[in-house]
Amino acid sequence: MQGVKGLHATYVENRRQFIETMQNFNILIAEDNDLSRENLADLLRSEGHTVRAVSDGKQAMDLVVEDQYDLVITDLRMPRVDGLELLRFMKDLDPDNLVIMITGYGTVDSAVDAMKLGAFDYITKPLRDDLVKLTVRRALSFARLKEENLVLKDSLIEKYDFGKLIGYSNCMKKVFENIEKVSTSDSTVIIYGESGTGKELVARAIHFNSDRRNHHLVPVNCGAIPEELLESELFGHEKGAFTGAFRNRVGRFELAQGGTIFLDEIGDMSPALQVKVLRVIQEKQFERIGGIKTIYADVRIIAATNQNLELAVAEKRFREDLFYRINVIPIHMPPLRDRGPDIAILANHFLRTFNKMKKKSLTGIHPDALNCLVHYGWPGNVRELQNLIEMFVVMKSEGEIGLDDLPPKILSQRRDSVSYRPVEVPPEGLNYNEMVSQYEKDLLLKALKHCGGVKNRAAKLLNLNRTTLVEKLKRFNLMEAEEADAG
Ligand SMILES: Nc1ncnc2c1ncn2[C@@H]1O[C@H](COP(=O)(O)OP(=O)(O)OP(=O)(O)O)[C@@H](O)[C@H]1O
Ligand SMILES: [Mg+2]
């Protein structure tokens, strides 16, 4: 199980991919004049659309309840059911349905009626190809825009829910499950993982899925605050508390009131900071420097580290009492090299993101290049992959990311997969059927030999199902050969 929000993220991704491929539309034409119907259909087909054409409104009605059409183009005057009635029917079905009305000259009033009923536009007869194309393109980019807006709305939800935490591998599913479980509680969470594995994203996901989401998520980089500023950073100070304290200052814990404090790189905390944080956790209260008021800390704690804290405790670099306070619910972020199925998904996700950000249009990643990415070790994890894809998008002007683009350390990961072996066609020609059969027989016999004659295994090896393999063996009279071979 990936969790509701995880599925949502996947859904948004899929939808985005869907829109990017939205170019060929499904169009329905209703027009009683045979010649103009056929002309219109041909014109739109030549623009790459899928077209269905019928000769009256009744037939069109039957079709639209059965199938989804992106656009309906209808003549106004038709036998049985006319254009306006069809339009009304379409709008009742779904107000978002797109309809273009074709009107004869002298029927301006009907054109106005059509627009009032919600037609997207109208075109007057005699139809001019360029005008038709233009109107249809406008209608379709309108449709696409609408889809994009939906996605925009979705991605806002996504942004404030799960960040863009993307994952498909089994270990990431486990992470999604854990996020979902801990989000509903107030328990302290510690996220372990190598650098760049997405610890911060997970912290965000937990916060924005908890009841504290309307308060702040306040990060503290525990290794980066200078010793002398530490106390003031965390707890704030009153004006005049020390030289240089010109005004009151709210500290990080106070800022996180009602929300979450994210203690990042907690393994790098100085001994002095460890004492102070331990005290807040234990007593759930603190004072500003120079202040007299005790502030109750309603703050959830999420910590993260790329260190082995138990080892740090054993080596006396990290306080044992603090460790037990922090190590309540651990979440382990797996390194990217253990998340095989995620690599391609993340790479394509980053490609789309950077394409958009940098207004480029690289078309994708060649399978051979992807193969190298999947086998590379990714010491810098997701961050390293993200940086690499950004580099491609900046450096390349167009086309597909291929083997030539890869840096040598990744290129050296190339594993040749078994692929089609080319054959030559001699100038004197050959017997096509015989050659193909020979190739097939060869593959079948080699696979059987490799598997000691066990058909199940041979079928698996060739990516065939067993019945297909057996049929082929029979067809080539190889059943006995195989049995003899095995026996
Ligand atoms: N599962 C993921 N899906 C999408 N983007 C991810 C994922 N994991 C990480 N990233 C991206 O990779 C980068 C590194 O992630 P993040 O900062 O969360 O890692 P980290 O574990 O906190 O690293 P560090 O230990 O170096 O602080 C970020 O830009 C983040 O958006
Ligand atoms: Mg981090």
Same-domain pairing of 146 and 289: no
- List ligand 1's pocket residues with C-beta within 6 A: 164-167, 193, 195-201, 306, 346, 382-383, 386
> How big is the chain, counted in residues?
487
Pull the structure tokens for residue 337. Answer: 């090299």
In a domain, residue 312? The reply is yes
In a domain, residue 145? The reply is yes
| CATH number of the structural domain spanning residue 344 | 1.10.8.60
Residue closest to 193 by CA, chosen among 341, 309, 322? 309
Compute the average pLDDT of residues 23-28: 83
Per-residue pLDDT band for 154 (boundaries 50, 70, 90) equals very low
| CATH number of the structural domain spanning residue 97 | 3.40.50.2300
More confident residue, 22 or 234: 234
Per-residue pLDDT band for 320 (boundaries 50, 70, 90) equals very high
Distance, in Å, from the CA atom of 98 to the CA atom of 50, rounded to the nearest integer, reads 16
Between 117-121, 142-146, 327-331, 428-432, the lowest mean confidence (pLDDT) is in 142-146
Which ligand 1 atom minimizes the distance to the CA of 198? 18
Q: Give pLDDT, residue 7.
A: 44
- Where are the extended beta strands (E) located within 107-180? 121-124
Checking if the pLDDT of 449 tops 70, the result is yes
User: To test ligand 1's pocket by mutation, which of 204, 378, 382, 389 has the most ligand atoms within 8 angstroms of CB?
Assistant: 382
Per-residue pLDDT band for 80 (boundaries 50, 70, 90) equals confident
Between 168-172, 286-290, 313-317, 440-444, the lowest mean confidence (pLDDT) is in 168-172
Checking if the pLDDT of 149 tops 60, the result is no
Ligand 2 mean position, distance from CA 195 (Å): 7
Same-domain pairing of 353 and 293: no
Task: State the ligand closest to the CA atom of 198.
Answer: 1
Domain hosting residue 197, numbered range: 170-332
Ligand 2 mean position, distance from CA 200 (Å): 5
**Domain termination residue (choose one: 292, 317, 332):** 332
Q: Give pLDDT, residue 153.
A: 44
Residue closest to 326 by CA, chosen among 189, 223, 220, 206? 189
Checking if the pLDDT of 106 tops 80, the result is no
Same-domain pairing of 239 and 342: no
Report in angstroms the alpha-carbon separations of 93 from 68, 291, 299.
Answer: 11, 66, 50
Pull the structure tokens for residue 56. Answer: 């009256």
Residue 74, classed as helix, strand or coil, is strand
In a domain, residue 54? The reply is yes
Same-domain pairing of 203 and 311: yes
* Mean per-residue pLDDT over the chain, rounded: 84
Compute the average pLDDT of residues 356-383: 90
- Where are the extended beta strands (E) located within 116-198? 121-124, 189-192
Residue 410, classed as helix, strand or coil, is helix
Q: Give pLDDT, residue 439.
A: 85
In a domain, residue 94? The reply is yes
Ligand 2 mean position, distance from CA 383 (Å): 10
Between 375-384, 402-411, 422-431, 449-458, the lowest mean confidence (pLDDT) is in 422-431
Same-domain pairing of 136 and 35: yes
More confident residue, 256 or 193: 193
Helices assigned H by DSSP within 21-128: 34-46, 57-66, 83-93, 108-116
Per-residue pLDDT band for 142 (boundaries 50, 70, 90) equals confident
In a domain, residue 224? The reply is yes
Per-residue pLDDT band for 1 (boundaries 50, 70, 90) equals very low
User: To test ligand 1's pocket by mutation, which of 2, 194, 200 has the most ligand atoms within 8 angstroms of CB?
Assistant: 200
Checking if the pLDDT of 417 tops 80, the result is no
Ligand 2 mean position, distance from CA 33 (Å): 67
pTM: 0.57
Same-domain pairing of 401 and 323: no
Compute the average pLDDT of residues 295-324: 95
Same-domain pairing of 183 and 326: yes
Give the N- to C-terminal CA distance of the chain in Å, as an integer.
46
Cis peptide before 422 (omega within 30 of 0): no
Checking if the pLDDT of 190 tops 90, the result is yes
Checking if the pLDDT of 125 tops 80, the result is yes
Residue closest to 29 by CA, chosen among 64, 60, 58? 60
Which ligand 1 atom minimizes the distance to the CA of 193? 21
Ligand 2 mean position, distance from CA 346 (Å): 18
**Domain termination residue (choose one: 282, 304, 332):** 332
Q: Give pLDDT, residue 480.
A: 64
Residue 454, classed as helix, strand or coil, is coil
Output the residue whose Cα is nearest ligand 1's atom 26: 195
Per-residue pLDDT band for 416 (boundaries 50, 70, 90) equals low
Same-domain pairing of 224 and 346: no
More confident residue, 263 or 486: 263
In a domain, residue 476? The reply is yes
Same-domain pairing of 326 and 342: no
Say what the alpha-carbon torsion angle 262, 299, 250, 305 is, to the nearest 10 degrees: -20
More confident residue, 217 or 164: 217
Same-domain pairing of 263 and 213: yes
**Domain termination residue (choose one: 332, 352, 379):** 332
In a domain, residue 360? The reply is yes
Compute the average pLDDT of residues 133-142: 84
